[in-house]
């Protein structure tokens, strides 16, 4: 870390990256709360004026952070401030603050509204040319941003292209103590992520329905008791042996109980060793599942 004449040192690269991520999270949280306010609003106000809303939120955050304290909200959390280049004893000047606002708020708004502004010109053969210039400028900025980020990873210093243009750096106001890095939390997270990925891979290979039926038969054994179909009562016809609801397209397997078509077929295809959940009657094959046939005994 480079030390200034007044004891200030350039912030660590990881601290600058963390501060940038925190700033993005603060902006997203603020916008999320704003969306909740207009959750039940029927108009498309937020969608229509989304660039203006983003610019307004950024300006409010800038007003109560960089404008007052020479540091963004994420930088304040990590005890970082924007300062001049090496050898300078000042923080951000008023001119740098307003240029910072213009570049980080005005330029993104201008980019989002460029198509609408071009249409307002209504000059023939000029819209396509302006569109090409804007695309070229945007591509150039992306390439420059990438080059600047690679330089930041290699040498440190300026995290964003705006910082390099304005000549401001993220600095610690005071010399920091030895940074203690604990890998306990990271190790725990990696362990749980690995375990969850293993479960996502293994669970589809397990026949959950078959395991469930096997455990149920083992814990709650039933004695098979065959009954003729003539003994089927009204109660048997009004409830499915699997789901307990009114049977849809009633099916039977040779016992007095009836089942929904989907319940019995889906369970049998998942577990060929399926038996009747109520009397433990086995199902020899798929042809044994037949529509319910009522046998009415004539009264004598």
| Tens-digit pLDDT profile for residues 110-159 | 888 877 777 776 655 666 777 788 888 888 988 999 999 999 988 888 88
pLDDT at 228: 46
pLDDT at 235: 57
pLDDT at 5: 46
- Asked whether residue 152 falls in the same domain as residue 223, the answer is no
93, part of any domain: yes
| Domain stops at, among 174, 193, 216 | 174
193, part of any domain: no
- Asked whether residue 150 falls in the same domain as residue 217, the answer is no
- Asked whether residue 165 falls in the same domain as residue 273, the answer is no
Among 285, 283, 289, 294, CA closest to 259:
289
- Asked whether residue 110 falls in the same domain as residue 40, the answer is yes
| Domain stops at, among 148, 174, 200 | 174
pTM tops 0.75: no
| CB of 248 closer than 8 Å to CB of 257 | no
Strand order in the sheet with 81-83: 9-10, 169-172, 81-83
238, part of any domain: yes
pLDDT at 239 over 70: yes
- Asked whether residue 45 falls in the same domain as residue 114, the answer is yes
pLDDT at 147: 93
52, part of any domain: yes
According to DSSP, the residues that pair with 9 across neighbouring strands are: 3, 172
228, part of any domain: yes
pLDDT at 226: 47
202, part of any domain: no
pLDDT at 4: 52
- Asked whether residue 228 falls in the same domain as residue 270, the answer is yes
pLDDT at 146: 92
How many domains does the chain divide into? 2
pLDDT at 288 over 70: yes
d(CA 104, CA 102) in angstroms, rounded, equals: 6
pLDDT at 13 over 50: yes
- Asked whether residue 168 falls in the same domain as residue 39, the answer is yes
- Asked whether residue 121 falls in the same domain as residue 44, the answer is yes
Print the domain residue range for 60: 9-174
4, part of any domain: no
- Asked whether residue 111 falls in the same domain as residue 235, the answer is no
| CB of 170 closer than 8 Å to CB of 19 | yes
- Asked whether residue 93 falls in the same domain as residue 158, the answer is yes
Comparing 8-22, 27-41, 249-263, 276-290, the range with the smallest average pLDDT is 276-290
- Average pLDDT of the chain? 79
- Asked whether residue 140 falls in the same domain as residue 234, the answer is no
Per residue in 29-78, pLDDT (tens digit) is 999 888 888 887 777 778 888 888 889 999 999 888 888 888 889 888 88
Q: Which residues contact 286 (CB under 8 A, 6 or more apart)?
A: 268
Comparing 215-224, 229-238, 255-264, the range with the smallest average pLDDT is 229-238
**Rounded mean pLDDT, 264-268:** 85
**Rounded mean pLDDT, 260-287:** 82
pLDDT at 229 over 50: no
pLDDT at 245: 84
| Domain stops at, among 174, 194, 228 | 174
- Asked whether residue 100 falls in the same domain as residue 162, the answer is yes
Domain CATH number, residue 225: 3.30.40.10
Q: How confident is the model at residue 276 (pLDDT cuts 50, 70, 90)?
A: confident
**Rounded mean pLDDT, 270-281:** 80
51, part of any domain: yes
**Rounded mean pLDDT, 254-266:** 86
Task: Give the residue with greater pLDDT, 183 vs 143.
Answer: 143
Task: Give the residue with greater pLDDT, 25 vs 5.
Answer: 25
Per residue in 188-211, pLDDT (tens digit) is 888 888 888 888 888 878 777 777
Ordered DSSP codes for the chain: -PBPTTS-EEPPHHHHHHHHHHHHHHHHHHHHHHHHHTTT--S-HHHHTHHHHHHHHHHHHHHTTHHHHSS-HHHHHTT-EEE-STT---B--HHHHHHHHIIIIIHHHHHHTHHHHHHHH--TTTHHHHHHHHHHHHHHHHHHHHHHHHHHHHH-S-SSHHHHHHT-EEEESS---------HHHHHHHHHHHHHHHHHHHGGGS-HHHHHHHHHHHHS--------GGG--HHHHSSBTTT-SPPSS-EESSSS-BB-HHHHHHHHHH-TT-B-TTT--B--SGGG-EE----PPPP-
pLDDT at 230: 47
């Amino acid at each position: 870390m480079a030390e200034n004449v007044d004891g200030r040192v350039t912030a660590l690269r990881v601290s600058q990256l963390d501060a940038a991520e925190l700033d993005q999270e603060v902006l997203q949280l603020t916008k999320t709360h704003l969306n909740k306010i207009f959750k039940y609003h029927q108009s498309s106000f937020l969608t229509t004026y989304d660039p203006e809303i983003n610019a307004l939120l950024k300006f409010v955050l800038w007003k109560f952070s960089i404008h007052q304290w020479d540091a963004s909200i994420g930088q304040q959390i990590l005890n970082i401030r924007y300062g001049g280049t090496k050898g300078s004893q000042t923080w951000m000047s008023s001119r740098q603050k307003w240029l910072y606002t213009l570049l980080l708020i005005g330029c993104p708004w201008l980019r989002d509204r460029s198509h609408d502004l071009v249409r307002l010109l209504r000059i023939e053969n000029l819209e396509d040319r302006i569109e090409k210039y804007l695309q070229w400028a945007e591509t150039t900025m992306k390439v420059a941003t990438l080059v600047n980020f690679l330089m930041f990873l290699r040498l440190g210093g300026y995290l964003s292209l705006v910082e390099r243009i304005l000549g401001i750096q993220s600095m610690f106001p005071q010399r920091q103590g030895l940074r203690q890095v604990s890998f306990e939390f990271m190790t725990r997270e990696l362990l749980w992520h690995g375990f969850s990925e293993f479960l996502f891979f293994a669970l589809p290979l397990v026949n959950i329905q078959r395991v469930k039926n096997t455990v149920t038969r083992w814990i709650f054994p039933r004695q098979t008791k065959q009954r003729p179909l003539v003994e089927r009562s009204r109660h048997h016809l009004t409830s499915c042996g699997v789901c307990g609801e009114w049977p849809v397209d009633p099916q039977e397997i040779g016992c007095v109980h009836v089942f929904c078509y989907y319940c019995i077929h889906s369970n049998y295809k998942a577990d060929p060793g399926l038996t009747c959940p109520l009397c433990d009657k086995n199902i020899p094959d798929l042809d044994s599942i037949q529509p319910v046939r009522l046998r009415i005994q004539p009264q004598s």
